[in-house]
Amino acid sequence: MFGALWSSMPGAVELGLLYALMALGVYITFRILDFPDLTVDGSFTTGGAIAAVLITAGYHPWLATAAAFAGGLAAGALTGLLHAKGKINGLLSGILMMIALYSINLRILGRPNVSLLGMDTIFPRVGKDEKWLLLLVIAVVILIIKLLLDAFLKTDLGLALRATGDNAKMIASFGANTDTTKIIGVSLSNGLVALSGAFIAQQGGFADISMGIGMIVIGLASVIIGEAIFGAKTVFRATLAVVLGSIVYRIVVALALRVEWLESSDVKLITAIIVIIALVLPTASRAWSVRKTARKRSRELAGSEGR
């Protein structure tokens, strides 16, 4: 049992790293922009689809991956436009884009499923001994992307983007166009999500029309788990927490799948439960501690009056 568990760890960590980019995208919208963007479920598939189709058409895998990133940027920019310029409610903008992308993704794929079996992808075929080396390389690549994102968030544009989610009125009074910063933020977010989709398609050897379903919740779970365990004091810490949260999430899922009576199709339910617990716990524990202090103070007051 433990042997099997241990041997499933590298796989879980690898998936966690590849999905971490998607989680970083969710972090940008949900946490930085305070914009609950549901485009993610669609744009993740868009990324996978663009990469798979271009690779099967004979393009270089890295070129295909870059195109996937660009596709995500475009999808996100459209969501941002719907919201910022079309004045459509944020949630609805994302849902509309997600639905529209379902059809677009089918157009891109041409059929529900495109296989990459036997084709060259960005992941080299490695033997058992080199598996760890590959994992290390993936970790380095993901960390570089994380650091680039950190750096971006410290530029003048990045600061304006963060302020848009923090105090939009304030940054507007200093001359930033908050419509533009929102569009840039949602676009970048979905670019990262699509990049993650492109990585996952190549790692798994196929792109599928339904590969993005539930991504938003998985992304949220990663963000919340990461923040809870590793904290989010600075930008550097927060994005690191998201990456680690994504890995922890995959490990939890790997553990859950070892449980006899759980089916692999139960993963989405487990994910939803993780998110619910993570969302309810902090509020509940805060309310509980306030009640406790209030009772204690009341007793003190009652005591001092009795004297």
Partner 1 sequence: MLRLTNIYKLFNPGSVDEKTALAGINLQLNPGDFVTVIGSNGAGKSTLMNVISGALQPDMGEVVIDGRDVTRMPEFRRSAFIGRVFQDPMAGTAPRMTIEENLAMAWKRGQPRGLKFGVTRRKREFFREQLARLGIGLENRLFAKVGLLSGGERQALSLLMATFTNPRILLLDEHTAALDPARADLITRLTETIVREQKLTTLMVTHNMEQAIRLGNRLIMMDKGRIILDIDSEKKKTLTVERLLGEFEQISGHKLTDDRIVLG
Query: Site for partner 1 (CB under 8 A): which residue of 74, 88, 157, 254?
Result: 157
Q: Which is nearer to partner 1, 232 or 253 (CB)?
A: 232
130 is an interface residue for partner 1 by CB under 8 A: no
Q: Apex CA 186: angle with CA 184 and CA 190, to 5°?
A: 115
- Give the interface segment with partner 1, choosing from 16-24, 111-119, 152-160, 291-299 (CB under 8 A): 152-160
Query: Site for partner 1 (CB under 8 A): which residue of 119, 170, 229, 259?
Result: 170
Query: Site for partner 1 (CB under 8 A): which residue of 2, 111, 129, 174?
Result: 174
Instruction: Provide, rounded to whole angstroms, the least separation between the CB of residue 156 and partner 1.
Output: 4
Instruction: Provide, rounded to whole angstroms, the least separation between the CB of residue 66 and partner 1.
Output: 19
Nearest to 198 by CA among 212, 183, 187, 186: 212
- Give the interface segment with partner 1, choosing from 13-21, 55-63, 171-179, 243-251 (CB under 8 A): 171-179
Nearest to 195 by CA among 74, 31, 43, 37: 43
Build a one-symbol-per-residue string for 178-207: x at contacts with partner 1 by CB under 8 A, - elsewhere.
x-----------------------------
Instruction: Provide, rounded to whole angstroms, the least separation between the CB of residue 177 and partner 1.
Output: 5
171 is an interface residue for partner 1 by CB under 8 A: yes
Instruction: Provide, rounded to whole angstroms, the least separation between the CB of residue 94 and partner 1.
Output: 23
Nearest to 52 by CA among 237, 239, 201: 201
Token couple for 73: 């940027």
Query: Site for partner 1 (CB under 8 A): which residue of 82, 176, 221, 253?
Result: 176
Q: Distances in Å between the alpha carbon of 252 and those of 75, 109, 268, 271?
A: 31, 32, 12, 10
Q: Which is nearer to partner 1, 22 or 161 (CB)?
A: 161
Token couple for 185: 């933020």
- Give the interface segment with partner 1, choosing from 67-75, 123-131, 151-159, 289-297 (CB under 8 A): 151-159
Q: Apex CA 39: angle with CA 38 and CA 44, to 5°?
A: 115
261 is an interface residue for partner 1 by CB under 8 A: no
210 is an interface residue for partner 1 by CB under 8 A: no
175 is an interface residue for partner 1 by CB under 8 A: yes
Q: Which is nearer to partner 1, 127 or 175 (CB)?
A: 175
Instruction: Provide, rounded to whole angstroms, the least separation between the CB of residue 159 and partner 1.
Output: 4
* E strand or H helix at 207: strand 206-208
| Residues contacting residue 188 through CB under 8 Å, at least 6 positions apart | 25, 28, 73, 76, 152
Q: Distances in Å between the alpha carbon of 179 and those of 21, 76, 167, 175?
A: 24, 13, 13, 12
Query: Site for partner 1 (CB under 8 A): which residue of 60, 85, 131, 154?
Result: 154
Token couple for 30: 């949900």
* E strand or H helix at 115: strand 113-115
Q: Is 231 left (phi over 0), alpha (psi -120 to 50) or beta?
A: left
Q: Which is nearer to partner 1, 130 or 166 (CB)?
A: 166
* Eight-state DSSP code of residue 111: S
| Residues found near partner 1 in the complex (CB under 8 A) | 151-152, 154-160, 162-163, 166-167, 169-178
